[in-house]
Structure 1
Amino acid sequence: MLGFIRYQLISYIRSLKIVPPTTMFLIWVVILYSYSGMEILSSYAVTSTAIYIVMTWVSMSNFSIEEEAEKNMLFVQLGKKRYLWGKWITCILIAIIFMFFAVFYPIIMSSFKEKIQPIHLCLSIVIHLLLAMFGIIVGSFSSISSFVSKKYKWLLAVLVIVVTISYEGIVEKLDILKWLFVLFPPVVNIINFFVKDDLQYFGKEFWICSAFGFVYSIIAFNVLIYLFLKKES
């Protein structure tokens, strides 16, 4: 398994498909922190949104680096589940690198107007990790799903991203969709705690919402395994 993950990282880097999302993410973070005196939590909300979009991109491009024949050979060598988990672990390793850059770059550059505290670091790691997982889930679903043809998979991913980010505005106008959107990652529910940049909002409700995000991710990954095995059967 470790050999496959190493192979995946090398193949993905050599394919150069990692360059566009990485470049986009680096530019996004650098431009955001080009000025000093930034708010801590609201800034991390912006970079976590960036990591959500970028990890959707990374996940989809990572699923497309093998040709069908090569993929079938890997199925024989690894098994379908191990192949899928290898893909996800590769994406998570890339997400961790992005997350560390997003969290520590502004600290190194002294971009925040206040001195950062351990609680800020803890909260920043939680939101970046959650939204990175949501991005991997959206990208994996768009790649694995047999509901749409190959040429519309990117459109599906963009649609899910737009819906999850603009959830509140859509529900406000079409309340009937509220329960349907339970199926989507709770992106806005997490981000909203960070917008006001006030630690007093991070009480029991936030940790319940975060716990729901992690439970959602566990369920979503298991559903994706089922969909993947069904598609590749």
Structure 2
Amino acid sequence: MAVFIRYQLKSYIRSLKFIPPVTVFLGWVFILYAYKNVPILSSYAVSSIALYLTMAWIAMTIFTLEEESEKHILFLQLGSKRLFFVGKWLACFIVAFPLFLFAEFYSIVMRNFHGSLSGIHYGLSIYSHWMLAIFGIMVGTLFSATRFALKKYAWLGAVLVLVISLAYESLAEFGVWAKVVLWVFPPVLFVISYLSGGDTVSLGGHFWWDQAIVVGYGLIGGVLLVWLFLRKER
């Protein structure tokens, strides 16, 4: 597995496909912290969204590195299609790690924040970045490694899911049926809503209930993605 992950990372770097998403992400963070004395949590909410969009992009490029013939050779070498899927995801997480570090600590090093960070600020920012990175990888996987990966509409479908998940609050106002349909999309708002109410945070029962939904969505979504991938590769 370690050899496969190294192979994936080398192939990804050599393909130069990382340049557009990483450049956009870095530019987004630079612009976000172009000024001093910015609020802590709302800034981290924006960089978390940037990581969400970027990781969907990166996951789609990582899952489409190989042609079909090369992919089947890798299945034989690994001895399991499931290991292939897990290796791809681990490669995505490794790529996400330096982006997370940059989003988390650039503003601290440059002293852009208004006020000092507390433990709850660190906890919420780390959690929000990683949860949205996971959701981004899930969206990218859905439209690059399953039967939803139609070449003509894969990118359009991914963008649609990303936009709808970010517009959850506005779309939910259309009524009960809209709320029911929106449960299909990543619960991004359940994560970042606690970062947009100011830098003084009190985490009550609603927070833990919402995060239980977020984690449950991630676990169920991950299992479904594995199942959809295996169905596609039968």
TM-score by structure 1 length?
0.96
* Aligned partners of 1:99 and 1:128 also within 8 Å: yes
Instruction: Give the C-alpha shift of residue 93 in structure 1.
Output: 1.2
Percent identical among aligned pairs is 46
SS of equivalent to 2:153: helix
One-letter amino acid of the counterpart of residue 81, structure 2: K
One-letter amino acid of the counterpart of residue 113, structure 2: F
* Aligned partners of 1:193 and 1:201 also within 8 Å: no
CA distance in 2, matches of 1:193, 1:68: 43
CA distance in 1, matches of 2:219, 2:212: 11
Q: How does 1:35-54 map to 2 (within 5 A)?
A: 35-54=35-54
Instruction: Give the C-alpha shift of residue 175 in structure 1.
Output: 3.5
One-letter amino acid of the counterpart of residue 73, structure 2: M
One-letter amino acid of the counterpart of residue 170, structure 1: L
Runs of 4+ in 1 over 6 A off after TM superposition: none
1:216 is the counterpart of 2:217: yes
What residue in structure 2 maps to residue 121 of structure 1? 122
* Aligned partners of 1:131 and 1:187 also within 8 Å: yes
What residue in structure 1 maps to residue 60 of structure 2? 60
CA distance in 1, matches of 2:125, 2:2: 29
One-letter amino acid of the counterpart of residue 3, structure 1: V
What residue in structure 1 maps to residue 24 of structure 2? 24
Aligned-residue Cα RMSD (Å) equals 1.2
SS of equivalent to 1:150: coil
SS of equivalent to 2:56: helix
Instruction: Give the C-alpha shift of residue 148 in structure 1.
Output: 5.8
Cα deviation code 1:33-74 (max 9, x no counterpart): 010000000000000000000000000011111111110100
* Aligned partners of 1:48 and 1:128 also within 8 Å: yes
SS of equivalent to 1:178: helix
What residue in structure 2 maps to residue 151 of structure 1? 152
Instruction: Report the more deviating stretch, 146-155 or 200-209.
Output: 200-209
Instruction: Give the C-alpha shift of residue 174 in structure 1.
Output: 4.3
Return 5+ residue gaps in structure 1 as ranges.
Answer: none
1:160 is the counterpart of 2:157: no
Cα deviation code 1:187-221 (max 9, x no counterpart): 01211111112433433322332232122111111
Cα deviation code 1:54-105 (max 9, x no counterpart): 0000000111111111101001111100000000001011112111110100
CA distance in 2, matches of 1:93, 1:215: 23
CA distance in 2, matches of 1:119, 1:176: 35
Cα deviation code 1:103-133 (max 9, x no counterpart): 1000000000101112211110000010000
TM-score by structure 2 length?
0.96
Aligned length: 233
- Closer/same/farther in 2, CA of residues 4 and 203 from structure 1, 3 Å limit: same
